[in-house]
Structure 1
Amino acid sequence: MKTYSVVQNSILDILKLKTTEISVTVDDSSITTKIIDRGILIYKIKEKNKYHPFINSLQINLYFLNRSAKINFKNKMGICTSSNQLRHFSLNP
């Protein structure tokens, strides 16, 4: 039995304002690619899905963290700066 559910991560919502994001969405007919910088859409292209039926449902979000976002991420995730080890792990702020 397969279970499908949405994975939510509040840390990514916070970091989106300080990162550059490449978002790719694939459906049956098209592939949409977006470049978003600090919440502002910079570039968007929609192309025909040449890979259907091999790839027909996919979403990828790739983030580049600048210095400010890295510091925020370390603080939210509880990563110790001196030893780079986890003190605690929590996905909820």
Structure 2
Amino acid sequence: MNRVRLINSIIQKANFKKYLEIGTRSGTSLYAVNCKNKIAIDPNFIIPKLEKLKRKVFDIKNGRKTHYFEMTSDDFFEKKKNSLKNSAL
């Protein structure tokens, strides 16, 4: 079983609604994970803006949300950790 299949299996079995990925970079694994709300953290995303927009439309159609934080994980947990508690995420 590969890493993404394992993550999807855990999300499904535990009925998780949020997935946090640190070091998202290109989004390859992020987009393969099936979860209602996804949070992506990376200081240097290489995901084109058009790709993010297409994914946002796809997410809306499927009742999902993906939030991108272009910052280090240290900065995220220092400045944005309350975002994890936000029911909208």
State TM-score, norm by structure 1: 0.22
Larger radius of gyration: 1
As a proportion of its length, which structure holds more helix? 2
As a proportion of its length, which structure holds more strand? 1
State TM-score, norm by structure 2: 0.23
